[in-house]
Every structure is written in structure tokens, then in C-alpha cells.
Chains A and B, each alone.
Chain A
Amino acid sequence: MSNISEALYNMRFMDDLARRNTLVHRLHPLAKLASTLAFLAAVVSVERYEISGLLPFFFYPVIVFALAELPIKPMVKRILMVEPFIIGIGILNPLFDQHIVMLGGVAVSRGWITFLSIFIKCGLTVAAALILLATTGMDRLASALRMLGIPKLFVLQLTLTYRYISVLLEEVGRILNAYALRAPGQKGIHWKSWGSLAGQLILRTFERAQSVYGAMCLRGFDGEYRTGDGQRFCTTDLAYMAVWVMFFIIVRFVDIPGLLGLVVTGGIK
């Protein structure tokens, strides 16, 4: 149950964020989608032994967070919630790669470096995906997909799934509540009810889909996906996209922290 209310809350939270009106929110969804994909590609392509090359990429989430006025604490919490899975797989790296290297005078096993690299990459990539949704929203993201030539069938289906998730989550929540009240102290669904509990819901879902389809037809559904407002791709959007893509290319190929460190240590000398 807590799972379901959590999921519902999560989706509504992201929807609320997407409805804000800031500089980043107003940008064309395509510009944001393209920047996000460029960011992901750049981050993922960084070598596994590299930590310093990853650090400049933090500029992207930090700046967009600030520009889009996203709340830091709940977003960071969501990012960290994904990390345990990565830790589960990555933690084995130090076990398998015990090659010792010197890091600023300290001996470190290479496995820890790759582990840290994976950990940071996970944080960055997850942040980028969440930022995209929190500043764009599902409907505008779908319109961007449509503009990219993703077939209407898929886009329509995606938005319908998204719309009905909250309805179905509430329904599942009610069913589980009713079940729990009739089977106190029982963990999960008894095997005798496995088929009937989920099966009943399927039958009901099928009926619901038919009435949804009927309602859509009555409102003139002809298989086309319509978004309503056709936002134009203007210079600001192009500039936003170009600046970020340039930035990602630069930090991917030029070692900024390394140069910065040299400047500083040189200065100290």
C-alpha cells in the first residue's frame, strides 16, 4: 500500500514541478530533450577510471536546478533512491580489481575508482532524466517526441498509459485495502486469490478501456495525437541547446579540473 501512495505522490510531485513557469520551463521541449540526450551521451562515454573528467558535468544539473527553481532536497532524495542498485553492482568492483594505484600520495585500489566513477555517473544521469521531466512535463515531452517523428501510435499510447496510471494505482490501492481489511495480519495476497484478484482487475480494466475508447470516439478521436499549442522553436531555444552541447563537448575533451589544479598549484609555487 505504501508503495502505491508513494508512487502516486511521486508522479503528482513531478507533474506539479512541470507546471511551474520559469525560464527553463518555457523553453521548447525539443531543446531540453536534445540537451539531455547530449549530456547523457557525454557522461556515459567518460572512461571508467576517470573521476575528474566527470566533475565539470555537475555544472549542468546545478545550473538547471537553479534556473528552473527546482527544490533541491526532494530531488536529491529521488536521485539517491536509485543509487542502492548501482552500489549493489558497483561494490563488487573493488573486490575484482584490487590493482593498487597512487592517488595524490594515497594508495587506492583501482576498483574503488571505477566504483566511484559509476556512482557519480549514476547520480548525474538520473538527475538529468528527472530534470527533463520536471521542467517539461509528460504532455510536452510527448509533443516533442511527435515532432521528432516518433509514430503517433506509440506517443498516443504512451500518454494514455501515463494518464491512466494514477487511475489504476488508485484502483489497485482500493482493492488492496479491501483485501487487507478482510485478511488482517496477512502479508501479501494468499495464493488461492492470486488469479482472481489480479484477474478481476484485468476484466475491469478491459471494460474501462472500452468505455474510454467510446468516449474518445464521441469526442472525435480519429487516431491523431493533438497537443493543442504549437510552440515555436525560437532563438532562445536554439541558444540554450547550443550552449549546453558546446559545454558538454568542451568538458568531455578538455580536462578542466586538471588545468584548474595546475593553475592553482602553479600559483602556490
Chain B
Amino acid sequence: MHMADALISPAVGGAMWAATSGVAAYSMKKIQVDLDEKKIPMMGVMGAFVFAAQMINFSIPGTGSSGHIGGGLLLAVLLGPQAGFLTMASILAIQALFFADGGLLAFGCNVFNLGFYTCFIAYPLIYKRLTRNGHSEKRIFAASLLSTLLGLQLGAFSVVLQTVFSGKTELPFGTFVMLMQPIHLAIGLVEGLVTAAVVAFVWKASPDILENVAKEKALGSISTRKVLTGLLIAVLLVGGVFSWFASANPDGLEWAMLKTAGTAELEATNKLHAVLSDIQSKTAFLPDYSFKASDSEEASAAGEEAWPVVNAGTSVSGILGGGLTLLAAALTGLTINMIKKRRKRAGFEC
């Protein structure tokens, strides 16, 4: 469920970075207030635990397949929502850096999708409520299962929204939702059962771990509201500024249309397609992105108008130019390599 950089637009990436930073800042403040210094190494080591435990395959009875744990809810249950969220963020950072699993620009999206919904929505709304009157195996089981399900459903829906708003894929909203939600219901069921089994075991073996976390005060209603308002403002601000910058391109336009008018994706793209095909019928080339060879000088002179793409994607010269660019890049690399090698050899001879 990790979002990649290639699938998001700067507006969506930036907005989600802002939202994630906001939640992270709030979490850090909250942890520092009731700082339990022990928590820092605990968070670090538990992060490493989740990272490693994600590689354990739990076989699903009756089927040939297996599932694994997600970690967001488990961390919230064991460390508390704020510490859980931050720990999830560092796991995702390491996955992005070492394994390119989820991009750096998409980092905000990923932390939000996998950390926020589990730690700040599913955990307080379902898990805490169901275990409010004390823990018992049944309650822990139901609470973990339902919270994991909800967290994953929200996360999957959030992936759909981010992808659609980014406009990099052509997947219509409806189709994508129908694809994502049921798959994640199945995944969530397995994840939820494994998480429930693990939490129940920990409770039986060492109840103090869960009870200490449960004793911590829940999010005060005022501060939650403040945080959410702050988040909303940040998201709108960053998204708005970025999409304003991007207004010259259809991605930004589409995004803005969706954002302001709240129209469904289909409608928005239809409008866009209408505009595009209108231009296309006039130019007979890829609309917006091309110019006939004879117009080229005019277009490049016009600069402004032709921005963002004074392009050649459609014409022969463009393809040729593209090939040459790649060739030039490769040659530059080879030349640097050769110079380096020669220098090294010279160094040895000296």
C-alpha cells in the first residue's frame, strides 16, 4: 500500500507532507509533555521489531496463502498513539531510503495512510472504547480486529484519493475504489486476526505493558479539534499554493476542479478531455504538448505561452532529440568514469 513518487503530484505530496509534519509535531509535543525517557529507546527498538516482524509469514488456515502484520495498530496499542505514529514514520523512512519502498515525496502520504488512521482514528475510536472497561481476551480480540480493519480501509481509501487527485493514472475513481477496498478488507481481516492474537498474548503474559499505555490520558477533545483544524488549514494552504503554481498544467487544473467544485473525477476529466480534444482537432497533434515543426521557432520564442512544455514528444525531431539527450547523459557518465580510472592508474604509477 506504499505510494510511490511517480504516482503523486507535487500538490498532493506537499499537502500530505504538511499534514504528516503537523501530526508528528503534535505527537512529539505530547510525548515531551509526559516524557517518559524510556520511551525513546523503546520506540526505536519497537520500530525495528515491526520492521522485522513484517517479514514473518502467518499461514491462513484453509488457504495456501499467508498474511503478515501491518504494525500501525500494534504500535499504538503497545506504545500509545503518539509514539506509535512517530515509530511508524521512522519505519517508513527507512523503508523508503533503503528499499525504495514508497518514495521520499510520497513519504507524507505513506505515513498518513499507514500511521495516522491506525493510531489516531482506529485506536482511540474503536480500540480504546472497546477496552475502556478493562481488558479481557474477547474484548482485546474484537477491538484489535475491528480497529485494524477500519485503519486499513481508511488507508486504502486515502491511497485512492491521493492517486486520483494527483492525476497521474487514468484509473477512474469508482473503479479504483472498487478495486482497493475489497482487497484491503481481506488483507485487513488477516492482519487484524494476527494483531489480535499477538496483543492478546502480550496481555496474558505481561498485562502491565498494555495497562500502562491504557492509563495514559486519551486525546483531549479540545486539542484534537485544534490539531485537526490546523491540519486542514495546512493541507488547503499547501495544496492551494502548489496547485496555483501548477495551474498551467492539466494535472493541477484537474486537481483544482475536484477540490473546489467537488465534482466527481469522471466529470472533471470529461471536461478536460473536451477541452483537449477541441485543441487537438485544431492541431492534429498531441494537444498542448506539440507544435508543428514550422511553428517551432515561434513557439520557443513565445516561451511563456508554450510553457510548461515546449515539447517535441510527438514529432520526429523530438524523438531524435530525446535519444540524443539520453546518449549524451550516458556519454557524460562514461567520460567521468574514464577520467576517474585514468587518474587512479596514474596515482598507482606514481
Asked if residues A66 and B337 are in contact (CB atoms below 8 Å), the reply is yes
Asked if A194 and B197 sit within 8 Å, CB to CB, the answer is: yes
Task: Please name the residue on chain B nearest to A257 by beta carbon.
Answer: B321
Query: Which of A11, A103, A157, A203 contacts B202 (CB under 8 A)?
Result: A203
Interface string of B71-100 (1 = CB under 8 A from A): 000000010000000110111011011111
Is B182 an interface residue, CB under 8 A from the partner?
A: no
Decide if the interface of chain A is mainly helix, strand, loop or mixed.
helix
Q: Does B200 sit at the interface, judged by CB under 8 A? A: yes
Are A198 and B53 interface neighbours, CB within 8 A? yes
Q: Report how far A160 CA is from B48 CA in the complex, Å.
A: 8
Which of B51, B60, B249 is A161 in contact with, Cβ under 8 Å?
Answer: B51
- Contact pick for B44, options A56, A118, A157, A260, CB 8 Å: A157
A189 close to B99 (CB less than 8 A): no
Contact bitstring A93-109, B, C-beta under 8 A = 1, else 0: 10111010111110000
Q: Which of B25, B101, B103, B316 has the most CB of A within 10 A?
A: B103
Which of the residues B44, B167, B285, B325 comes within 8 Å of A257, measured between beta carbons? B325
- A167 to B45 CA separation, bound complex (whole angstroms): 9
Instruction: Tell whether B158 is near chain A: CB-to-CB under 8 Å.
Output: no
Q: Which of B6, B163, B309 contacts A50 (CB 8 A)?
A: B309
A168 to B328, CA, bound (A): 45
Question: How distant is A222 from chain B, measured CB to nearest CB, in Å?
Answer: 9
Q: From A47, A82, A223, give the contact of B249 (CB < 8 A).
A: A47
Specify which chain A residues have a CB less than 8 angstroms from the CB of B279 in the assembled complex.
Answer: none
Q: How far, in angstroms, from A52 to B5 measured CA to CA in the complex?
A: 19
Total A-B residue contacts, Cβ distance less than 8 Å? 394
Q: Is B61 positioned at the interface, with any CB of A under 8 Å from its CB?
A: yes
The 8 A CB mask of B191-218 against A (1 = contact, 0 = none) is: 0011001101110011001000000000
| Chain B residues, CB < 8 A from A209 | 38, 41-42, 44-46
Interface string of B94-115 (1 = CB under 8 A from A): 1011111101110000000000
List residues of chain B with CB within 8 A of the CB of A52.
311-313, 318-319, 321-322, 325
**Chain B, 25-55, CB within 8 A of any chain A CB:** 25, 28, 31-32, 37-38, 40-49, 51-53, 55
Residue of B nearest to A56 (CB): B325
Q: In the complex, which of the residues A151, A160, A200 contacts B43, with contact meaning CB atoms closer than 8 Å?
A: A160
A261 contact from B13, B60, B324, Cβ within 8 A: B324
A161 to chain B, nearest CB (A): 4
- B349 contacts the other chain (CB 8 A): no
CB distance from B87 to the nearest CB of A (A): 7
The answer on a CB contact under 8 Å between A261 and B312 is: yes
Closest residue to B171 on the A side, CB-wise?
A92
How many angstroms between the C-alpha atoms of A115 and B40 in the bound complex?
43
A45 touching B100 in the complex, CB below 8 Å, given contacts A153-B40, A160-B45:
no
* A-contacting 9-mer, from B116-124, B221-229, B230-238, B288-296: B288-296
**Cβ-defined contact, A58 with B326, below 8 A:** yes
Contact across chains for B6 and A164 when beta carbons are under 8 A apart: no
A161 touches B44 (CB 8 A): yes
A212 to B46, CA, bound (A): 12
Report A116-139 CB contacts with B as 1/0, cut-off 8 Å: 011101100110111011000010
A34: Cβ under 8 A from any B Cβ: no
Q: Does A111 contact B (CB under 8 A)?
A: yes
Is A73 in the interface zone, CB < 8 Å from B?
A: no
State which of B170, B206, B332, B340 has its C-beta within 8 Å of the C-beta of A69.
B340
Known: A66-B337, A96-B172, A153-B31. A255 touches B194 (CB 8 A): no
Determine if A102 and B285 form an interchain contact, defined as CB atoms under 8 angstroms apart.
Answer: yes
Does B347 touch A at the CB level, under 8 Å? no
Q: Is the CB of B86 within 8 A of A171?
A: no
A223-249 interface bits toward B, Cβ cutoff 8 Å, 1 = contact, 0 = none: 100000000000000000000000000
Asked if A208 is an interface residue, CB under 8 A from chain B, the answer is yes
A261 and B319 contact, CB distance less than 8 A: yes
B333 engages A93 (CB within 8 Å) = no
Whether A104 contacts B311 in the complex (CB less than 8 A), given A36-B104, A44-B105, A63-B336, comes out as no
Indicate whether B178 reaches chain A with its CB closer than 8 angstroms. Answer: no
> Which residues of B pack against A, CB within 8 Å?
2, 4-10, 13, 24-25, 28, 31-32, 37-38, 40-49, 51-53, 55-61, 64, 66, 69, 78, 86-87, 89-91, 93-94, 96-101, 103-105, 163, 167-172, 193-194, 197-198, 200-202, 205-206, 209, 246, 249-251, 273, 277, 280, 284-286, 288-289, 293, 296, 300, 307-322, 324-326, 328-330, 332-334, 336-337, 340
Q: Which 9 A-B pairs have the closest CB atoms?
A: A160-B44, A261-B321, A188-B59, A199-B201, A261-B317, A258-B312, A195-B197, A161-B47, A195-B201
Q: List 19 additional A-B contacts (Cβ < 8 Å) besides A158-B93, A200-B205, A255-B311.
A: A4-B55, A44-B13, A47-B251, A52-B312, A56-B329, A66-B332, A66-B336, A86-B4, A102-B286, A132-B104, A138-B97, A160-B48, A186-B59, A189-B59, A198-B194, A199-B201, A213-B38, A223-B37, A257-B325
